[in-house]
C-alpha cells in the first residue's frame, strides 16, 4: 500500500512549510498550495487521499475550496484547520462536507490520527 497523499492549503507559507515537514516526517506524501484556486487546479490533475485547508484565505476561503473539491471528488475527505473555530463555522463546514475542523495551533498527533481515519485508501480519488 502506498503512502497517504495529502494536499495542504494555507496562505500562511510558514505554517504550510512547517506542517508539510511534520507530515512528511511521519511518512505522508505532501503537496502544498497557498491559494484556493491553485489547490483546485492541483486536485484536477493529481490523486489525493486527503485535503487539509485553512478557513481564512484571500480569494477563496476554505469553505469555498471544500465545495469546489467536493464537486470534483464527492468522496475525497477535506479537513479544515483554523484559529477561528466556532460552532457556526463547524456547522457550515459540515454542510459543505468537511469531515473535521481543528484548532490552530494544530495538535499533530490528533491531525495524523484524523488523516489516517478519514483517508480512504481503497477508493483512491483520481483526477477529473
User: Quick check: 79 pLDDT over 80?
Assistant: yes
More confidently predicted of 78 and 121: 78
Residue 119: its pLDDT value, please? Answer: 86
> Nearest CA to 3 among 127, 115, 99?
115
Alpha-carbon span 34 to 53, nearest angstrom: 10
- C-alpha cell read off for 48: 489525493
Residue 87: its pLDDT value, please? Answer: 92
Model confidence, pTM:
0.91
Average pLDDT, the chain: 91
pLDDT tens for 8-28 read 999 999 999 999 999 999 999
Residue 26's contacts (CB-CB under 8 Å, 6 or more residues apart) are 108, 112
Amino acid at each position: 500500500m502506498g503512502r497517504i497523499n495529502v494536499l495542504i492549503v494555507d496562505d500562511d507559507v510558514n505554517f504550510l512549510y512547517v506542517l508539510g515537514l511534520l507530515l512528511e516526517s511521519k511518512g505522508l506524501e505532501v503537496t502544498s498550495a497557498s491559494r484556493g484556486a491553485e489547490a483546485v487546479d492541483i486536485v484536477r490533475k493529481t490523486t489525493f487521499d486527503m485535503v487539509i485547508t485553512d478557513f481564512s484565505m484571500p480569494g477563496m476561503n476554505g469553505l469555498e475550496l471544500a465545495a469546489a473539491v467536493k464537486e470534483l471528488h464527492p468522496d475525497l475527505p477535506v479537513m479544515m484547520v483554523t484559529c477561528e473555530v466556532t460552532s457556526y463555522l463547524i456547522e457550515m463546514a459540515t454542510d459543505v462536507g468537511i469531515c473535521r475542523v481543528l484548532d490552530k495551533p494544530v495538535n499533530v498527533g490528533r491531525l495524523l490520527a484524523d488523516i489516517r481515519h478519514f483517508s480512504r485508501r481503497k477508493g483512491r480519488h483520481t483526477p477529473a
